[in-house]
């Protein structure tokens, strides 16, 4: 009986620890948003509009992201902060990148030939 209680107490403590970590991580991101895009993110909206402020894809960390199943026109909104930029690339893994989309700007772009994006400081 004692062993069961110790195991249950340890399990409860472990679950509590994960809950606390998850809450801390979730609150670490800024809450401000524009057109449904959180501050610090790059957001994609299908078509040449804001899709009722409902982005279909969001990216938060600097780096390269390979894309799949994105065809036709998308509105890309760079809601990053601190002058961070975003680029579209015709190749995978950030190859063949084009121009820079500055923070606070958006563009309507045909994503059919695009295979990756980069988020850069």
Nearest CA among 80, 86, 71, 74 for reference residue 47 = 74
81 in Cβ contact with 107 (< 8 Å): no
Number of other residues whose CB lies within 10 A of the CB of residue 119? 21
> In the block, which residue shows the tokens 């923070």?
103
Q: Mention every residue, 6+ apart, whose C-beta is less than 8 A from residue 16.
A: none
Task: Give the residue ranges of the chain where pLDDT is below 70.
Answer: 1-31
Write down the pLDDT at residue 33.
85
Name the H helices within the chain.
2-27
DSSP secondary structure letters along 86-108: EEEESSGGG-SEEEEE-TT-EEE
- pLDDT one-digit tens code per residue, 40-65: 999 999 999 999 999 999 999 999 99
| Average pLDDT value over all residues in the chain | 81
Write down the pLDDT at residue 115.
97
Q: What is the pTM of this model?
A: 0.73
Write down the pLDDT at residue 23.
28
CA distance 106 to 34: 12
96-103 long-range contacts (CB < 8 A, ≥24 apart) are 101/76, 102/78, 103/78, 103/79
């Amino acid at each position: 009986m004692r062993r069961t209680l110790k195991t249950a107490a340890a399990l409860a403590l472990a679950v509590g620890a994960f809950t606390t970590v998850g809450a801390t991580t979730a609150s670490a991101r800024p809450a401000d948003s524009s057109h449904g895009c959180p501050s610090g993110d790059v957001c994609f909206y299908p078509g040449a509009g804001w899709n009722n402020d409902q982005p279909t894809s969001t990216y938060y960390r600097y780096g390269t992201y390979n894309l799949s199943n994105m065809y036709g026109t998308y509105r890309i909104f760079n809601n990053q902060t601190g002058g961070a930029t975003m680029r579209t690339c015709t190749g995978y893994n950030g190859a063949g990148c084009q121009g820079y989309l500055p923070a606070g700007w958006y563009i309507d772009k045909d994503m059919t030939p695009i295979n990756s994006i980069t988020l850069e400081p």
